[in-house]
Amino acid sequence: MLTRRTALLGSAIIAAMSYFVMSAHAEEIMDTSGAMSVDLSSLPILKHKLVRPPFVHDHQQVVTTGPSLVKFELTIIEKEIEIGYGAHLQAMTFNGSIPGPLMVVHEGDYVELTLYNPEDNLMQHNIDFHSATGALGGGSLTLVNPGEKTVLRFKATRPGVFVYHCAPGGPMIPWHVVSGMSGAIMVLPRSGLKDHDGQPISYDRVYYIGENDFYIPKNQNGDFKRYEDIGDSYPDTLEVMNKLIPTHVTFNGKVGSLTGENALTASQGEHVLFVHSQANRDSRPHLIGGHGDFVWETGKFNNPPQRDLETWFIRGGSAGAAIYKFLQPGVYAYVNHNLIEAVNLGATAHVLVDGEWNNDLMEQVVAPTAYDRAHEGKTALP
């Protein structure tokens, strides 16, 4: 009997085979079977339990020892998620969150990931690390069917923040990405972050903001459609995707996910590191009321940071990082400064900062009040 899962897997396998065969020809057919195994038995082992964004697992900013073998686990979860404005997404996720968790290691460490695809899922999945070298970022070595797991290890050779995402082949790649399957990894220099003069920089808090564009089909009445499962949503979603006009642009998977009761917090005088990823489209982060003191716009820590930016640019398929020292208390809005996407489509977060107001930086000299209309227009330009 041809079940929905069998049909979906068949389509996915055909897409993956054509994609990987094409890539294999381009690389004269990758074959790892004869490569000598690397002995890492002498390295210390670190096991980190990943946490849900915007938060990040405990880690050291500076390490004085040699490389470690750093182990993580990710479970692929397919589920329906309410993303705002009355829309529901048949989502594909790493560990159940959009974005997937931020992993933190240090340059020279070995990253070992165990990837689980539970048997009740419908789709094939894999993972492509933009921080890794070879084999489509690990994508060609990690393709797992429902009910399977795989273990990938790679050496973190380049410091910076990088995207990871699912890339199972062909037209399945963009669908999986815009259905939630992306995250980021931060590879810190072993000696920590440095400013433009090579002096150490540290942060008091780190928040990970994953930006996603979603494409939710509508019915004839203009209402968002809802689907039984991932496979049921595919044909309509593909049609909306190919028009390249998102219905939602959100931070961390949902309109309002980082506002209200979910707002980020900080204290006056704290240095906060913001890691921002967008696996599919360009973005323009801006902190309303603040600045980017130090910004790695391309996300790569071998490059000196830019300073004092008002808005920075995140290229689609990449991640960036910015540090700001909060100088005033109050509510700050962290937005995609395509303001249509920020205000109308959902790409807004809030940071609540406690502390004491500094009138030297800003003061309300006169509160709003009525004025003498005789002066109206006298300051207007001719």
Catalytic residues: 125, 128, 130, 165-166, 176, 181, 286, 310-311, 337
Sign of the four-CA dihedral 186, 189, 191, 192? negative
Collapse the DSSP code of 32 into the 3-class scheme (helix H, G, I; strand E, B; otherwise coil) and give the result.
coil
* Long-range contacts of 86-89, Cβ-Cβ distance < 8 Å, separation of 24 or more: 86/223, 86/224, 87/214, 87/216, 87/224, 87/247, 87/248, 88/216, 88/224, 88/226, 88/227, 89/179, 89/180, 89/214, 89/216
Tokens of 232: 């049921």
What is the C-alpha separation between 15 and 122, in angstroms, rounded? 15
Phi-psi region of 325 (alpha: psi -120 to 50; beta: other; left: phi over 0): beta
Inter-residue contact 129 to 103 (CB < 8 Å)? no
Longest CA–CA separation in the chain, Å:
88
Inter-residue contact 90 to 142 (CB < 8 Å)? no
Residue 270's CB is within 10 A of a number of other CB atoms, namely 16
What is the C-alpha separation between 326 and 272, in angstroms, rounded? 8
Q: 58 to each of 45, 113, 260, how far by Cα in Å?
A: 15, 17, 25
| Spatial strand order in the sheet of 271-278 | 248-251, 205-214, 271-278, 318-325, 292-296, 306-309
Q: What separation, in Å, do the N-terminal and C-terminal C-alpha atoms of the chain show? A: 79
Q: Which residue has the tokens 């004269």?
A: 28
What is the C-alpha separation between 121 and 150, in angstroms, rounded? 16
Q: At what angle do helices 4-26 and 230-241 cross, to 10 degrees?
A: 50
Angle at 283 between CA 280 and CA 284, to 5 degrees: 170
